[in-house]
Structure 1
């Protein structure tokens, strides 16, 4: 079992806390996508829930803990999905939720946060600037700052995906995981390396937001001055040292992919699996497109982590056009 901040017993216990609406998401073989990519492909569909992303697993643990402590408020920075999930989990437990986001965040995500009754504050700049503002607000108000990936609940909530993947002896040999802050990668990776160590864990990030991938390869925190990618959900500039330490122990590889491959991956998921996804969810398919020889003859699982995408952007990127082959 890898020596990380995560604990397998706590992850198992998390399933009793998380609303079942987020658990046991579909896992199915997509033969059409596999034929197009030249390998066997199974999809773990983390968008089949009320917030359309995996983030609800972690926010359920956060909100439950705050409620047990008698706390009534929380603030977070979000590219959109975490804020929506925290708003959903917080509303069920009577928590006042404040979300700080970039003005450049997809309008669809911001609208859904507002619809839950959360307080939404927009800042100029990117996610890391939103994170700085959220931290300042939490200090001033004396409320809980929810930090995705740093807070262990977000990682162990995401890790329950790994428990579902390993419910039976896996017939797959590779799992492709979108890499942003690292909650899903470290969580799922921890479970896989504990229960199915023969499965290769590959993290995928855009060339336009490479900080965590570069950090993994150099085994030290590497920051970037800016990001330039349509995959807003993974576009951080400042990796968290403790999360990187965990990632180094559970990831077998971390790769970067081009924007064009992300768009093609989105098109292929729509055409071959009937899924409209946000760019971050297509990173796994993009990795296969860029290195088909590596995956030929293998059986991989790609985790579809979110489907919160503005449809105008989706069509503007060209993701709605047919893509019959890589």
Structure 2
């Protein structure tokens, strides 16, 4: 049965039907009742009682086990004998593998070739059979569906199925048992299974509780669907919070989210990094980015709506983090909390100018200072400043610098400046170039760079190249090309042929300040 057919059939289910299915879900044969833990430090800081639902404490370190087991437990004897299959690069794969081991059902998981070894090994350790295929999730899913047709496997979708939704909804039941006085519950949204399951249960039993969906701004498929009135497919999604990097929300999950969620909020990667730090400081747990997503949304919602003295819960949905990804989190968390500002400042080349500049900063801690002599008149300086009072303090610094005769641009929200330019200060071409600048996300698989060079590098001269990877499934690349205007149409055609995510950065201010001619 296709996912579309399943979703259409599921439209017959009422809220009461879902409530019954959630209460009858046999997931505790394998899953744990996870703690609802107080976050004392964060609670004191923002003036509300904050609690964290610790789904990282599940045997597979994420909530996905609940939905996978609930659906697999309902397979017929014939289906169990044939086996189950799924496509996943992470948590759903591990949930399916452990469920198959517990139920004695052969579980095959198709994972993209780009999947880190730590995740592949984890699936195998739970007894799953791994098939590596394709360079992204869509290619892996297509192959999984082909294998399901060929061998008669039952396809277990990651979110858009009533049984999966009901399994995830058991978290809502636990929340009420652990704190029946909650005012708000914040739930991460990728494909919508968790948000649908929790919201449909809570609204049946405690409709006064406000349920807020939280999305990463670069993969906000629910928000796009709500704006359009139906599920739509995003052109591309960011991969930092890979657990919620879904281009299209499910049909049934959208129906339920549209009906039962009270609000939706989006957060940036920096805000997610800040939430990862908050979780660590309060609990010593290390959340994956998508696992900290709902706490990031909680913090932002509290600030926007000026909530005080409320009881708020968020879901730590997973902790399957590639350790090296913490480099990125550590680097960006201060920006997400508005505890650091990044500035491009023009300083005159005269004796004492730097000292005057430091006097204007007023003894604040400088976290970063990048400078290289450029000409006899002016220098562009890249500066990081520690902040104690957030954006208001940064605005004051900018005002004082401009008043003191120092032109300044705020780069705190400039992604290219934070990922690439801060490491490349001083790299200007020694001769005039007709240069255009592009950023790319490279899939981390053998031959990715070779494909890039074969597609683009043999046609146009590469004038700048910077590669950054923080342990993710993709690398960030900044690349300059010598391009005449007449070449742009052909060049763009080759970009589409390449198939990597890209963005034209030629007009970026950080580039103009520090790298351009």
Alignment check: 8 A CA contact 1:179 1:234 kept: yes
Tell me whether 1:296 sits opposite 2:307 in the alignment.
yes
1:96-245 to structure 2, matched below 5 A, reads: 96-167=106-177, 170-245=180-255
Runs of 4+ in 1 over 4 A off after TM superposition: 67-70, 319-326
Q: Distance in 2 between matches of 1:5 and 1:128?
A: 34
Tell me whether 1:44 sits opposite 2:43 in the alignment.
no
1:245-256 to structure 2, matched below 5 A, reads: 245-256=255-266
Aligned residues: 323
Alignment check: 8 A CA contact 2:50 2:313 kept: yes
For 1:233, what is the secondary structure of its paired residue? helix
For 2:247, what is the secondary structure of its paired residue? coil
- Return the offset for 1:20: 4.6
* Change beyond 3 A, Cα 1:97–1:246: same
Q: Distance in 2 between matches of 1:169 and 1:36?
A: 21
For 1:104, what is the secondary structure of its paired residue? coil
- Return the offset for 1:140: 1.5
Alignment check: 8 A CA contact 1:268 1:323 kept: no
* Change beyond 3 A, Cα 1:251–1:265: same
Tell me whether 1:309 sits opposite 2:321 in the alignment.
yes
TM norm structure 1: 0.91
* Change beyond 3 A, Cα 1:169–1:317: closer
What is the aligned partner in structure 2 of residue 85 from structure 1? 95
Please list the CA deviations of residues 278-317 of structure 1 after superposition, one character each: whole Å capped at 9, or x if unmatched: 1111112222343414253122100111010011112343
Q: Distance in 1 between matches of 2:179 and 2:52?
A: 17
Give the gaps of 5 or more residues in structure 1: none
1:61 alignment partner, one of 70, 80, 102: 70
What is the aligned partner in structure 1 of residue 397 from structure 2? none
What is the aligned partner in structure 2 of residue 34 from structure 1? 43
Q: Distance in 2 between matches of 1:225 and 1:103?
A: 22
Please list the CA deviations of residues 1-40 of structure 1 after superposition, one character each: whole Å capped at 9, or x if unmatched: x9459521121111xx223552321012211122234422
What is the aligned partner in structure 2 of residue 12 from structure 1? 23
1:271 alignment partner, one of 265, 281, 284: 281
For 2:330, what is the secondary structure of its paired residue? coil
Q: Distance in 2 between matches of 1:10 and 1:174?
A: 24
Give the gaps of 5 or more residues in structure 2: 1-12, 339-517
Alignment check: 8 A CA contact 1:174 1:200 kept: yes
- Return the offset for 1:218: 2.8
CA root-mean-square deviation = 2.4
What is the aligned partner in structure 2 of residue 261 from structure 1? 271
Higher alpha-carbon Rg: 2
Answer with 130-139 or 154-163: which moved more: 130-139
Q: Distance in 2 between matches of 1:218 and 1:53?
A: 31
